[in-house]
Chains A and B, each alone.
Chain A
Amino acid sequence: KQEVTQIPAALSVPEGENLVLNCSFTDSAIYNLQWFRQDPGKGLTSLLLIQSSQREQTSGRLNASLDKSSGRSTLYIAASQPGDSATYLCAAETGANNLFFGTGTRLTVIP
């Protein structure tokens, strides 16, 4: 069964710094890898979706990469801002839109 792990569990950085969040998954037979953002007390917002045939996706200051063979994905955030503070979740889709979520990385960007 698919297991998704995220490290670190929490991260604090000063504003302006570039940072990388890591996600690993045990079963490489995935349809896609997705990154979400969750603000306290709110639902999830989709950030990026990388299909299994793709290596990376970019949206603004966010860049996500996927290495299926090694079971890893990274989310790179450039020039971090206090508004980026949230919990970031990655999820691997194994079929029929069945998403397996990681435990999240709680990011705090200090002004």
Chain B
Amino acid sequence: DTAVSQTPKYLVTQMGNDKSIKCEQNLGHDTMYWYKQDSKKFLKIMFSYNNKELIINETVPNRFSPKSPDKAHLNLHINSLELGDSAVYFCASSQQIGGGSDTQYFGPGTRLTVL
């Protein structure tokens, strides 16, 4: 059973297009996240949602819009894709927010290539 799943695994698209990446977790967790890992393998948080409410919104262009239809899903929509958006995007989830003892569980990643 996959705990945190993402689709698609690979996404190749042209500059200027709009695309979405989907994430689902079956762990019953309240909190979900999106991370970006760039070509130098540096991993940085983009957003976190707790029970469908936005908690963290790091400095990310507003072309990126997360959407959480329910607490098991957190999708990432990207408008007007740019070359610099090419990266691996990871979804993650944890039981709750705060407390300092929560492990985050990561999905397998979506490799986005913008041509």
Residues in chain A within 8 A of chain B (CB atoms): 31-32, 34, 36, 41-46, 49, 51-52, 87, 89, 93, 95-101, 103-104
List 7 A-B pairs, Cβ < 8 Å: A41-B109, A43-B4, A46-B103, A49-B103, A96-B56, A97-B94, A97-B97
Which chain A residues lie closer than 8 Å to B45 at the CB level? 98-100
Contact status A32-B100, CB under 8 Å: yes
Which chain A residues lie closer than 8 Å to B103 at the CB level? 34, 46, 49
Known: A34-B104, A42-B108, A44-B43. 6 other contacts (CB 8 A): A31-B98, A31-B99, A51-B100, A97-B97, A100-B45, A101-B42
Give Cα A36 to B33, complex, Å. Answer: 16
Contact status A96-B106, CB under 8 Å: no
Which chain A residues lie closer than 8 Å to B62 at the CB level? none
User: A2 to nearest B CB, angstroms?
Assistant: 11
Contact status A95-B98, CB under 8 Å: yes
Verify if B18 is at the interface (C-beta below 8 Å from A).
Answer: no
Which chain B residues lie closer than 8 Å to A46 at the CB level? 103-105
Which chain A residues lie closer than 8 Å to B105 at the CB level? 46
Nearest-neighbor residue (CB-CB) of A93 within chain B: B100
Give Cα A95 to B55, complex, Å. Answer: 11
Contact status B100-A103, CB under 8 Å: no
